[in-house]
Amino acid sequence: MNRVEKKFMELKAAKEKGFIVYITAGDPDIETTVEIARELVKSNVDLIEFGIPFSDPLADGPTIQEASQRALRRGITIKAILKAIASLRSGTDVPFVFMTYYNPILKYGVKSFIKDAKESGVDGVIVPDLPIEESGELIDIAEAEDFSLILLAAPTSTDDRLKAIAKRSKGFIYYVSLTGVTGARKDMAADLANNVKRIKRFTNKPVCVGFGVSTPDQAREVAEVADGVIVGSAIIKVIEKNIGRDDLVKRVGNFTRTLVKGIKSK
C-alpha cells in the first residue's frame, strides 16, 4: 500500500473527503514550485499533483497551457522536477503524483521514469492521453513498483469501459466532470452526481472529480457526491496573477485554505 491508498483509507475512516491540488512544476520557476508545495502542505491539502510541462497538452485549457509554456521557457526538465520533489519528501507524508502526457514518459523510458519518480518520493502518475487499451506496459510496471497509475473516466465512458478502468486504476479514479479541457467554470455539470454514482456501481475505489472546480461552493458541491475534489486552473490563476510579488506563495495558500474550508467544514 502506497501513500495514495493510505491517505484515502484515512479519509474514509475519518468520514472526510479528499482535497487535491494541481500545480505546474516549474511555474513560475522550480524554486517557487517547492515553496508553493510546502505552503499547500501547511494548508492541509490531502494530495498534490505536479504537472510535468509538455509542449502539446491536449487535455489542458489556456490557463495550464500558459503555465506549462512559462516553465518550458525557463528550461524545466523532469530531472529538475524529481530533484525538487525529493527535497520536499523528507518534510511530509502528503502523497505526490505526477500528471503528464505519455510522450515525456516514453522519451525518458517507462521503467526509468517510474523507478526515478518513486525514488524521489512520487507515489503515482496520471496520463490523460494514454487510453486504457494502450496502457498495459505502464500499468504492469507501475503495479510491480506499488506505484499508482490513476486512470481517468469521463461522462462519455461506457459501462464496459468504466469496469475496465475501475479494475486497473490504482489509488483513485479521476472523473473528468465534463467534456473538454481543464479550466475554471461557473457551474458544475448537471449530471455530475448521477455519473459518479454510475462509476461507483463498478468499484469501491475512491472517485475524485476534477476539471472545472474553482470556488469553495463548487468544491462543497462536488464533495457531496465524490470522495475527493481536484482543483488546478483556479490555483494556477492565482499564481499567474501574482508572479513577481513577494507574497505570491502566501496568496496561493490563502486561496487554497478557502477551498479546503469549503470541503472540510462539515
Q: Where are the alpha helices (DSSP H) in 180-247?
A: 192-200, 216-223, 233-241
Helix (H, G, I), strand (E, B) or coil at 232: coil
Contact (CB, 8 A) for 65 and 233: no
The three cell numbers of residue 108 are 525518458
Q: Are 165 and 131 within 8 A, CB to CB?
A: no
Q: Give the pairing of strands 96-99 and 148-150.
A: unpaired
Distance, in Å, from the CA atom of 176 to the CA atom of 228, rounded to the nearest integer, reads 12
Q: Whole-angstrom Cα distance, residue 201 to residue 172?
A: 15
- Active site members: 49, 60
